[in-house]
Amino acid sequence: MDDHWTLEDINWSRFDASKVDPDLLAAIKAASVVESNAGDYVAYLASVFSDRPDIKASIIRWGREEEQHGAVLAKWAELADPDFNFAESFERFRDIYRIPDDERGSTRGSPAGEMIARCVVESGTSSFYTAIRESTEEPVMQEIAQRLAADEFRHYKLFYDTLQSFEHTPSLFERAKVAITRVSEADDDELASAFYATNTKPGDGVKYDRKKFAAAYEARALSLYKRQHTNRLVSMIAKAVGIAPHGRFMRMMEPIVWKIWQRRARRAHLLAA
Ligand SMILES: [Fe+2]
Ligand SMILES: [Fe+2]
C-alpha cells in the first residue's frame, strides 16, 4: 500500500458540473461520512488483534486509506454542491451514529469472523464504486470511483489473505452466518444516519427516521448496480465464506440475488418517495 495516491493526483480541473447527477451526489455525500468514520473500526479491530502487531499495522494503514476515501468524496461533493458542508455533516453523523465501542473482544465471534465481515464490506464498497464508475458521466467522479474501486478490491484481498493465514477457521455454517449477519446490517443505522446527516440541514426541521432514510439511501445506491455488479458482489462474498464462487450453487444464487436486489430497489424508491 506504499504507492498510494493522494488528493493532489486527482485531475480536479476536469470537473464538469453539468454532468453531476443529483441522486449520485446524495449517495456520495452519505458515503463521504461513512468512509471518514474508519477510525472507530481501526480502534475496534486493533483491540481484537492486540496480540498480532503485523495485522494491527496493516489495519492502521487500511484505515488511513478509508479516511482518504472520505476526504476525496467530501471534496468532490463540496465542489458539486457549494452548500454542502462536510465538516458540519460529519459532526451531525457522529452525533447519531457510533459503532458500539463498549464491547470487549470480537463481535463476530472470532478473529476469522471479523475478517469475513470485513470481506463482506469490502465486496460491497468495491462493487459500489465500480457501479458508479460505469454509470457516471462526470469525469472527476469517474477517476475517483476507479481509484476507490481498486483500493477496495485490495482491501478485500488484504482481509481475505489474513483470513487464509489463520490456523483455525470456523465451520462453513459459522462463516456463512457471519456473512449473512453482516449483509443484513447494511440496512442498519449507519447508512441511514449518514444519508440524513449529509442530505438534510439542522434548520430543515426534518427528524431522523431510520427506515425512511435507509430507503432514501438505498433508492439511490441500489439502482446504480447492474446485473454484473451484483454477480461480482455475490461471488466475492461466497469466496470469503469458502464457497466456490463460480460453482453450481452460486450460479443458482446469482439470479435470485438479482431479483431480490431489484425488488428491494423498487421498494426503496416507493418508501423514499
Ligand atoms: Fe473505502
Ligand atoms: Fe475499503
In the chain, % helix, strand, coil (3-state, to 5) comes to 75, 0, 25
Q: What is the distance in A from the centroid of ligand 2 to the CA of 158?
A: 10
Q: What is the distance in A from the centroid of ligand 1 to the CA of 253?
A: 27
**Chain centroid offset of residue 138 CA:** 21
pLDDT digit string (tens) for 133-176?
999 999 999 999 999 999 999 999 999 999 999 988 888 889 99
Ligand nearest to the CA of 158: 2
As a whole number, mean pLDDT of residues 193-207 equals: 94
Give the C-alpha separation, 95 to 114, whole Å.
25
Q: What is the distance in A from the centroid of ligand 2 to the CA of 66?
A: 6
Contact between 200 and 4 under an 8 Å Cβ cutoff? The reply is: no
Give the C-alpha separation, 196 to 177, whole Å.
30
Q: What is the distance in A from the centroid of ligand 1 to the CA of 67?
A: 7
Q: Distances from the Cα of 219 to the Cαs of 135, 157, 268, in angstroms?
A: 15, 29, 5
DSSP state of 208: P
As a whole number, mean pLDDT of residues 195-202 equals: 95
Q: What is the distance in A from the centroid of ligand 2 to the CA of 190?
A: 16
Q: What is the distance in A from the centroid of ligand 2 to the CA of 155?
A: 5
| Per-residue confidence (pLDDT) for residue 102, from 0 to 100 | 52
Whether the pLDDT of residue 2 is over 80: the answer is: no
Local confidence band at 38 (pLDDT 50, 70, 90 cut-offs): very high
| Per-residue confidence (pLDDT) for residue 187, from 0 to 100 | 67
| Per-residue confidence (pLDDT) for residue 156, from 0 to 100 | 97
Ligand nearest to the CA of 35: 1
Phi/psi-derived region of residue 99, left when phi > 0, alpha when psi is between -120 and 50, beta in every other case: beta
Ligand nearest to the CA of 147: 1
The residue written with cell numbers 428491494 in the block is 264
What pTM value is reported for the model?
0.94
pLDDT digit string (tens) for 57-100?
999 999 999 999 999 999 999 999 999 999 999 999 999 988 76
- Identify the three-state secondary structure at position 10: coil
- Identify the three-state secondary structure at position 109: coil
As a whole number, mean pLDDT of residues 44-61 equals: 93
Ligand nearest to the CA of 70: 1
Whether the pLDDT of residue 195 is over 90: the answer is: yes
Contact between 52 and 4 under an 8 Å Cβ cutoff? The reply is: no
Domain 19-272 -> CATH class: mainly alpha
| Per-residue confidence (pLDDT) for residue 104, from 0 to 100 | 59
DSSP assignment string, 242-264: TS-TTSHHHHHHHHHHHHHHHHH
Contact between 221 and 201 under an 8 Å Cβ cutoff? The reply is: no
| Per-residue confidence (pLDDT) for residue 245, from 0 to 100 | 85
Ligand nearest to the CA of 68: 1
Whether the pLDDT of residue 109 is over 90: the answer is: no
**C-beta atoms surrounding 93 within 10 Å:** 23
> Among candidates 139, 237, 251, which has minimal Cα distance to 184?
237
Local confidence band at 228 (pLDDT 50, 70, 90 cut-offs): very high
